[in-house]
Structure 1
Amino acid sequence: MAEQEPSNFLDDLANAEAEEFGEEMEELDDEVVELDALRAERDELRDKFMRALADAENSRKRAQKERREAEQYGGSKLARDLLSVYDNMKRAVESVGEEQKEASAALIEGVELTMRELISVFKKYGIEPVSPQVGDKFDPQVHQAMFEAPVPGTKAGEIIQVSADGFMMHDRLLRPAQVGVSSNPG
């Protein structure tokens, strides 16, 4: 076997080492690319996880709010239907004259007790009457104007007659108080 010249041998050795170094660098580049891809996938999965966690928390809060509202206001339809019972009992008590009170004292007392019990049950469930008085200022948030009329000695926007009490259930209006309002110019 013929001996190579030292310069060729060194060149071949340098070339072999350079080729080996190049291969190692390519492998390193491939590993870096793979590592970058794994990091991007990790970040994407972390983002999806955080979004899913936030969605779950929002759903939980929404369900809690809906449950609270159902507890507080679930009976509002029934309560509205019972308001006519209250109105009729109130009219019955107010329509009784003095001589009828004496003749039917026990019956009238029973109706008044039933009406008080109804009001007590209303209060138990957060239902409070809105009872404006003649002379109060009209408030469209809790009153419904049934008519307007010019009444001497009153100011415009003053309540001149109360037809029916209104009712609030917690912080919501079940029914506005029905009132007549003065239309006198101020």
Structure 2
Amino acid sequence: MSQEEISAEQVELEELETPEVDELEALRAERDELRDKFMRALADAENSRKRAERDRREAEMYGGSRLARDLLPVYDNLKRALQAVPEENREASAALIEGVELTLRELTNVMTKHGVTPISPAVGDTFDPQLHQAMFEAPLPGTKAGQIIQVATEGFLLHDRLLRPAQVGVSSNTAE
């Protein structure tokens, strides 16, 4: 074979290989593109699954917050009813008082069972704006500024979320 024949044969082979090589490169590019789309779709599906699971857990834990918030005045009224009975009438109203106490206890048990816990600050505790709502400020001798001087109503948490802040009076004494 002469040099010209070999050269012509190589040109023919290159011409035959070029479309196949181009087609092979196009298929590889398409494969890579489809793999990328597949991985993105898989990641989106996993993110959607995680988001749905988180939403389900939150709905399970906090879905009853409206009902719980609506029951808090019932709790408050039962406590007020017990506090309103004068000492001299306690014996005469023993059965009624016992019934109100049992109802209050049952309500408290049900609320606790569903994750509602009371926030019961005491006089002298430090005011915490995350858990307490200041209803008034007043200077009270013998207290420091920011101390709770009166508790108007208890607050409540639903698991770790504030359902209702405790309503308190706070000392406004200035540091001496």
TM-score (norm 1): 0.91
1:18 to partner: Cα distance: 2.8
Aligned residue runs from structure 1 range 65-80, under 5 A:
65-80=54-69
Q: Is the partner of 1:140 in helix, strand or coil? A: coil
Which residue, out of 116, 128, 132, partners 2:105?
A: 116
Question: Which stretch shows the higher mean deviation, 97-106 or 68-77?
Answer: 97-106
Report how far residue 17 of structure 1 moved. 4.3
Q: Could you tell me how far 1:15 is from its partner in structure 2?
A: 3.8
2:10 pairs, out of 3, 21, 38, with 21
C-alpha separation between the residues in 2 aligned to 1:47 and 1:94? 69
Alpha-carbon displacement from aligned partner over 1:71-103 (angstroms, at most 9, x marks no partner): 100000000000010011111111111122111
For the residue of structure 2 that corresponds to 1:108, the secondary structure is helix
Percent of residue pairs bearing the same amino acid type: 70
Query: Are 2:19 and 1:30 aligned?
Result: yes
Bigger radius of gyration, 1 or 2?
A: 1
SS of 1:78's equivalent in the other structure is helix
State the SS of the aligned residue for 1:141.
coil
| Structure-to-structure mapping, 1:34-45, within 5 angstroms | 34-45=23-34
Correspondence list, 1:133-172, <5 A: 133-172=122-161
Aligned-partner Cα distance in 2 for 1:99–1:143 = 34
From 116, 138, 144, the counterpart of 1:127: 116
Distance in 2 of aligned mates of 1:96 and 1:48: 72
RMSD: 1.2
Q: 1:47 aligns with which of 36, 44, 59?
A: 36
Compute the TM-score of the two structures, normalised by the length of structure 2.
0.95
Structure 1, unaligned stretches of length 5 or more? 1-9
What is the aligned partner in structure 2 of residue 56 from structure 1? 45
Equivalent residue letter for 1:132: P
Give the gaps of 5 or more residues in structure 2.
none
Cα shift at 1:36? 1.2
Q: What is the aligned partner in structure 1 of residue 89 from structure 2?
A: 100
